[in-house]
Structure 1
């Protein structure tokens, strides 16, 4: 990696940090985490209703819960209990109830869309119906990722439980290879989600390669922080002691906030990279132009300029006399 490339990376990170703080992105992350907490279980319940109606599967709740716990650092028992409580309050989730759940759940996508546009410095909104369509598309994408996670998880279970010699006993017993495949799948699904958000949601042109690099960084950070958070909560956190029965809610909101910070910071990386690259290219062009002008002064001056690093004090004097026409 060249020195200029290292300089570019350092400038991008520095600029992203400065703009992240200047644009109040930590507060925007707090808003996203709040709306995520409000929207999560209505969306999950709507997904269960739709999945159950389409697939005619009585175990829809268990399967959707399993897909949700792949992304969130909370126990399946907590998700199931909350879903049961919400479903009782809503009654039978028919068509009208499902529409209400979807409408309630779309608030997080509204907050995410506005926050991403702020991260890109975009003040011009899209037309109203275009924005609502974008939020609905985000919700559909979220559901598609859940279904993909569910399908891959089921496939992994079938492979793991199958007594096929080709996979080997170590793979079946949970070896490093097996866990690596599970983690890689989780990172891949997160990558698709971030790529979708970074490419399509901002009301500006975002190149695929820029969105892909930012999405990959966000997905890797998301997976690392998720596992660290689960480890920390399981070993050191005292949420239940401080907050009592709402400790799990506080932990979930904390995780949602961290995830939103990752989302917005990587969005800043993507938005600032073209500007930093353009500024460095302009600076390099200016340096080359200045150098060419100096080399075109006279043939003698050009020769001395090229070897200027080896000039003695006498040579410097000779150069001065030459430039003044006294040589």
Structure 2
């Protein structure tokens, strides 16, 4: 009797080890790709924001939404020290008006390098072929052009609807959830566009929803940690803002890439259990 139970426990232990190894093989490259994307993100951040706000500022109807959008974007880029980051951003944007031809070329090159790096990482996560250079340039340049307009429109219509329906108690809960719904929609759209292959609706919805929940909870934990941990601020002073920014960008990319990988896992039954447990068609 004891021998039978020990045998069952041994079998269960081996199965658990195999399952854990399958999960490890499926997720073992995310940290490397996240580090690479974080590096490019830091360099591409100002050029992308420059393009973003330049588009909005050239549309007179959206001038009143620019400040709200800036606060929204910065609070997601760095959940703490938003006011100070906003001051730095204003300084950078003012200096950007002095860009010459070489400055514009460097902005374009930095943006293209970022998108190509993201395209490569996303293709690895979804086990798909990367888009060719021209297709990816068209897709992501269209995104960066239409995204600020779409976001401004969502803020504008949200504000208008809230004014119109102010005082309607049944809808107050909807407005409280609206930022989370928008965040979920952004992740869902990002997964859909970057996959470069058809995605089934259920894996796409579940993985993007899970990514949203994990990202929001991590954001709350990150704010809590920074608020109560004074060590970095006392040691590094103002430079701590850059350290926090780099850390949060890296954490965000880890979550996003893992979300993409989960979506691919739900699509493929985690590589059909890595070709029926190591028969062996690597997914990475």
**Closer/same/farther in 2, CA of residues 102 and 20 from structure 1, 3 Å limit:** same
Q: Distance in 1 between matches of 2:98 and 2:210?
A: 41
For residues 248-290 of structure 1, what are the alpha-carbon distances to aligned partners after superposition, in whole Å with 9 as ceiling and x for unaligned? 111111111111111111111111223328948x99xxxxxxx
- State the TM-score, normalizing by the size of structure 2: 0.74
Q: Distance in 2 between matches of 1:156 and 1:237?
A: 41
- State the TM-score, normalizing by the size of structure 1: 0.65
Q: Distance in 2 between matches of 1:156 and 1:252?
A: 34
Partner of 1:65: 70
What's the CA shift for 1:96?
10
Partner of 1:29: 34
Q: Distance in 2 between matches of 1:256 and 1:137?
A: 23
Segments of structure 2 that go 5 or more residues without pairing to the other structure are 1-17, 277-284
What's the CA shift for 1:130?
1.0
Segments of structure 1 that go 5 or more residues without pairing to the other structure are 1-10, 172-176, 284-327
Matched, 1:78 2:78: no
CA contact under 8 A between 2:126 and 2:195: conserved in structure 1? yes
RMSD: 3.7
For residues 280-306 of structure 1, what are the alpha-carbon distances to aligned partners after superposition, in whole Å with 9 as ceiling and x for unaligned? 8x99xxxxxxxxxxxxxxxxxxxxxxx
Partner of 2:125: 119
What's the CA shift for 1:181?
4.3
Partner of 1:294: none
- The SS at the match of 1:205 is coil
Partner residue of 1:247 out of 240, 246, 250? 240
Larger radius of gyration: 1
Q: What is the total number of aligned residue pairs between the two structures?
A: 258
Partner residue of 1:136 out of 128, 141, 162? 141
Partner residue of 2:269 out of 276, 286, 292? 276
Q: Distance in 1 between matches of 2:127 and 2:144?
A: 24
**Closer/same/farther in 2, CA of residues 235 and 153 from structure 1, 3 Å limit:** farther
Partner of 1:199: 192
CA contact under 8 A between 2:56 and 2:148: conserved in structure 1? no
Matched, 1:19 2:23: no
Task: Give the number of the structure whose residues are more often helix, by fraction.
Answer: 2
